[in-house]
């Protein structure tokens, strides 16, 4: 029996990661700087130029809402059309998934050591949720039907930021002047951490860090008091929004924290994150029962796109 040859991709605002799978074996892969290309189609064409293969299926996770088989990328000037790509690849269908939906499909293939546990919680059946801060803020759910978890996409990262204190009200007002609408993504993302830093230094709450201002170092890498405060505050608001998502999806089966930021600051996350996660008044006990884990495998979306394509 001939194995399936699958093209899978993780399409982000910063990089595009493509891989060919022969069955479950990854045979070739390459990463591309997304913004240096006019479209996903151009990247795929370049990737496959040296590969003499007959594809069985293809699937891509992409940062943006997928509607009618098309996606207008949130952080890229691209419109991705699944039907057009399928025609160019000579396959019957191309799976086009929101990147967090792809991440959610990938969770099931990860090993225990590919998670960092923030809260053991209780082993209990129920929906699951995924909250992922990186270039932007993505969220997804996994509906539990009594036997299986089925991922579904949402755009919860663009919902209104909810301040919890007078200082967060001041942060909201600062960002409202800058952006108009203040979503959680304006805070819980790489650019969002810089927004927190800008607020602290521009309102006299901290002294500038020259390495951050020059672009030489990331805020999370610095030991200056303003950067440490920005990171701690970021973590607290990350926990608060993860708790919001857990309540909205009733995610008793677990909450997963994805994206590129959390693994880099995992050692700092437990206290501030979990304190904010459970601070929901009468529902604190319920939230404390939910397992919370950081995903350490940065290729989860790629693995999820591959897993989804195998369903064709």
Q: Enumerate the domain spans of the chain.
A: 5-97, 111-295
Give yes or no for a contact between 222 and 211, defined as CB atoms under 8 angstroms apart: yes
5-97 and 111-295, same CATH topology = no
As a whole number, mean pLDDT of residues 89-105 equals 94
Q: Is the pLDDT of residue 102 over 90?
A: yes
Average pLDDT over residues 29-35: 95
Architecture of the domain delimited by 5-97: 2-Layer Sandwich (3.30)
Cα angle, residue 103 at apex, residues 245 and 220 outer, rounded to 5°: 70
170-184 per-position pLDDT tens digit: 999 999 999 999 999
- Say whether pLDDT at 1 is over 60: no
More confident residue, 229 or 93: 229
The whole-number average pLDDT for the span 263-292 is 96
Mean pLDDT of 35-64: 93
Q: Quick one: CATH architecture of 111-295?
A: 3-Layer(aba) Sandwich (3.40)
**Ramachandran bin of 265, using left for φ above 0, alpha for ψ from -120 to 50, beta for the remaining angles:** alpha
The per-residue pLDDT for 51 is: 84
pLDDT at residue 312 above 90?
Answer: no
The predicted pLDDT at position 2 comes to 56
Of residues 74 and 65, which shows the higher confidence score?
A: 65
- Please provide the average confidence, as pLDDT, over all residues in the chain: 95
**Average pLDDT in the 229-237 region?**
98
């Amino acid at each position: 029996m001939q194995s399936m040859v699958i093209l899978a991709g993780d399409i982000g605002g910063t990089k595009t990661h493509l891989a060919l799978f022969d069955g479950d074996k990854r045979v070739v892969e390459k990463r591309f700087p997304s913004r240096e290309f006019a479209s996903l189609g151009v990247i795929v064409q370049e990737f496959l130029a040296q590969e003499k293969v007959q594809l069985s299926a293809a699937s891509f996770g992409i940062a943006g809402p997928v509607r009618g088989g098309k996606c207008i990328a949130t952080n890229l000037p691209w419109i991705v059309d699944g039907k057009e790509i399928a025609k160019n690849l000579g396959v019957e269908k191309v799976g086009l998934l929101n990147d967090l939906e792809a991440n959610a499909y990938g969770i099931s293939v990860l090993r225990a050591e590919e998670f960092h546990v923030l809260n053991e919680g209780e082993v209990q059946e129920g929906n699951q949720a995924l909250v992922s801060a990186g270039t932007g803020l993505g969220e997804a759910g996994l509906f539990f039907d009594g036997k299986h978890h089925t991922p579904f996409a949402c755009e919860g990262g663009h919902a209104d930021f909810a301040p919890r204190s007078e200082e967060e009200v001041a942060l909201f007002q600062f960002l409202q002047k800058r952006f108009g609408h203040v979503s959680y993504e304006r805070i819980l993302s790489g650019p969002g951490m810089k927004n927190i830093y800008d607020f602290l230094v521009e309102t006299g709450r901290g002294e500038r860090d020259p390495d951050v201002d020059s672009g030489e170092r990331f805020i999370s890498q610095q030991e200056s008091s303003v950067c440490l405060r920005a990171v701690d505050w970021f973590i607290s608001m990350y926990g608060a929004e993860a708790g919001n998502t857990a309540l909205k999806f009733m995610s008793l089966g677990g909450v997963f924290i994805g994206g590129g930021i959390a693994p880099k600051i995992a050692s700092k996350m437990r206290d501030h994150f979990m304190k904010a996660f459970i601070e929901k008044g009468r529902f604190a006990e319920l939230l404390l029962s939910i397992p919370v884990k950081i995903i350490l495998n940065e290729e989860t979306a790629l693995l999820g796109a591959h897993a989804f394509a195998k369903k064709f």
